[in-house]
Amino acid sequence: MGIEGFMNTAQSRLSLPELRRKTDRDLVILSGREIERCLKLVSRGAMADAEAAYHQARVLLRIARAPDAQRWEMEARLDQARAAIDRRRSTVRARAQSASC
């Protein structure tokens, strides 16, 4: 291997951790956007789409190697989204049951 090949390999090795950090940041950002989208969909009553956005956010966050504090914050936001979905579904069920009585 010539010096050029060695330099390219060394540069690649140095840039891989940087690329992973950028990817992780982007995954956390995308997860946050999906959580916000989920909450908006819940408020509109689009429950199937809200569920899909929630699950997408979970997958993205699971893949990301986020710092603990950031992960905890995102997981708390995910919990809020899940609670919003569950509240909306219970409200819809309760209305359906009272309408059938």
Q: Is residue 6 part of a domain?
A: no
Judge whether 40 and 52 are in contact, CB under 8 Å. no
Q: What is the pLDDT of residues 64-92, one digit of tens each?
A: 999 999 999 999 999 999 999 999 998 87
Q: Which residue is associated with the tokens 């956005």?
A: 53
- By CB neighbour count within 10 A (0-12 exposed, 13-18 middle, 19+ buried), where does 24 fall? middle
Q: Is residue 3 part of a domain?
A: no
Q: What is the pLDDT of residues 40-62, one digit of tens each?
A: 999 999 999 999 999 999 999 99
Q: Quote the number of domains for the chain.
A: 1
Q: Is residue 1 part of a domain?
A: no
CA 61 to CA 81: how far, in whole Å? 14
- By CB neighbour count within 10 A (0-12 exposed, 13-18 middle, 19+ buried), where does 28 fall? buried
